[in-house]
Amino acid sequence: MKTAKGNDKLGKENCIVVSRPVGDTCPPTCDFLGNGCYAEQLEKIYPGVRPAGMQNLITEKNKIRAMLINAEKKGNDLRWHERGDFFKNGSELDNEYVDNIIWACESILNEGGKLPKMWAYTHIYDPKLSRILGKYINMYASVHNADDMKAAKEAGFKLFAWCDSDEKIASKRPRGKAKKEQWQKDLPKLIALEGEKFLSCPEIKRGRKSFTCTPDKKSRSACMWCVQGKGNVLFPSH
């Protein structure tokens, strides 16, 4: 199982990530696919990024199990799919991949072991992800509008990540220190959307010197909001 250290936002000291290739593993309905997806840009800029993700297209369940055991032993938090998602061939849920993760989690717990803290965001509103895999991973449905929220709730999701891709809540983060700081100040800390409360991502609102997702010496605090599945999160366009 190919993993990598977290980044400046996630935290590099205690966080590892699992990624898959963009497009191949993403639903074609994703608003960002071919429309400013940061992961797509990474694959274009850095030649080694896509081949690294390709290594996680076919994964043996015992390798996933070993990766989880090692992560928990080292005290790592695990972000599933910094790039990519749970699809295969861009058209259907990768059931074998999902089943292997479920098996790995259950086998560890059945033997009295512990799992690392894990979280993921997905544009795939499938009950298997929310109701089964979601027992072990804090599974956020990435939503963009009321229709997405309705579909995700019907699929059993309890955690939501609202992606403000159409900039209805806030304009895109501006360049320049003064303008950026004012933009951050104007962002709502909490906002109600479609009957749910959302917390603006603290790293985006306050900056990574104040917050990273997981503990890191470069920030004053570890947020852990999504890592621990504490509630819904808003990602303004940035």
Q: What is the reported pLDDT for 30?
A: 87
Instruction: Give alpha helix (H) positions in the chain.
Output: 38-45, 49-54, 61-74, 95-110, 127, 146-154, 177-186, 202-206
Neighbouring residues of 19: CB distance < 8 A, sequence distance ≥ 6: 2, 4, 39, 49, 52, 53, 56, 81, 82, 83, 84
Domain ranges of the chain: 4-235
Q: What is the reported pLDDT for 32?
A: 84
CA dihedral 74, 216, 213, 176 (to 10 degrees): -150
Kindly report the pTM of this predicted structure: 0.95
The pLDDT tens digits along the chain (238 residues) read 899 999 999 999 999 999 999 999 999 988 888 887 889 999 999 999 999 999 999 889 999 999 999 999 999 999 999 999 999 998 899 999 999 999 999 999 999 999 999 999 999 999 999 999 999 999 999 999 999 999 999 999 999 999 998 888 999 899 999 999 999 999 999 999 999 999 999 999 999 889 999 999 988 899 999 999 999 999 998 6
Q: What is the reported pLDDT for 99?
A: 98
